[in-house]
Amino acid sequence: MNGYLARVSIHKQYWKALVIFTFLLTLFAWLLNTPAGILGKADAIGYAVCHRIDLRSFHIGETQLPLCARCSGMYLGAMVGLSYQLAIGKRRTGMPSWKIILPVSIFVMLFAVDGLNSFISLFSSGAGLYQPSNSIRLLTGTGMGLAIAVALIPAFNATVWKYIDPRPAFLSFSSFGVMVLIAISLDGLILLETPVILYPLALISAAGVIIILGIVYSMVLIMLFKFENRINKISQLSYAMIGGFTIALLQIGLLDIIRFFITGTWDGFHL
């Protein structure tokens, strides 16, 4: 019996070491083959998921931000939503009330309408419903990011934790309103286009890409290995999260390779 337990322990340690080694190898390879500097690495993240059209992006001086206005808003909004929900209610799995689902649904609808309007205007000037702008793209993207966070956190908690809180993350509409107000305030700061503000927010939005993907892939791994609702401590979650972030980084790296192979440049698409 003791020999069996020892073999199981060794087997687990082997897989843990393999997960860490794979993550470090993937991270090293990606860092080595992407543009230099912190903003350069952030650009490489945006390069994998965003068109990065110059005219549809904010700038720090002459330097384009890693994500376009809409994607900047979306991932920044997602980061606000994730952080806020984790702060006000850990391990809550309940669905929000209709008073919250309704505005969240409107956020998603506005995102889709503005995206379609911008797409139409890309090929035919003046043919859309209204004149698109980066400020509108930022706001509608932020709304979509909040919607992603509202859906993702309860799903994550319901998948991962052994002991959960069945209440919704937002116990009142005012609590939801505070989150929206925080996100809109950050949008206002972005619209000031002050470099000292844009720089950290640009890095946070780029980090949001990896964090969102990492959380989703961590959930997939937990379900794949049939480990749902068996985790009680953060330490027990660490290897699933490392695995999820490894897959996220592999996806970003693969998309970087494909796009660079096609375009031959790290620049965004040109109109």
- 211, 48 in Cβ contact below 8 A? no
**Could you tell me if residue 18 is inside a domain?**
no
Residue-level pLDDT at 49: 96
Total residues found in the chain within this entry:
271
Q: What pLDDT does 125 receive? A: 66
Please tell me the distance from the alpha carbon of residue 79 to that of residue 145, in angstroms, as a whole number.
8
In a domain, 104, yes or no: yes
Domain-embedded: residue 209: yes
Task: Establish if 254 belongs to a structural domain.
Answer: no
Q: Distance between CA 22 and CA 213 in Å, rounded?
A: 17
- pTM equals 0.91
Confidence (pLDDT) at 271: 67
Cα–Cα dist 218/247, whole Å: 9
82 class by beta-carbon count within 10 Å (0-12 exposed, 13-18 middle, 19+ buried): buried
Q: Is residue 159 part of a domain?
A: yes
The reply to whether 118 falls in a domain is yes
Per the CB < 8 A criterion, the answer to whether 54 and 125 are in contact is no
pLDDT score at 196: 92
- Distance between CA 35 and CA 165 in Å, rounded? 43
- pLDDT of amino acid 4: 44
Please give the residue range of the domain that contains residue 168: 66-247
Q: How many domains does the chain have?
A: 1
Inside any domain, residue 73: yes
State both tokens at 148: 């992603």
Average pLDDT by stretches of 10, the chain with 271 residues? 50 80 95 94 96 93 93 97 92 93 97 92 74 95 98 96 93 95 96 93 96 97 93 90 96 96 89 67
Q: What is the Cα–Cα distance from 234 to 232, expressed in whole angstroms?
A: 7
Chain-centre distance for alpha carbon 3: 44
What's the confidence (pLDDT) of residue 17? 87
Per-residue model confidence (pLDDT) at position 130: 86
Position 56 in a domain: no
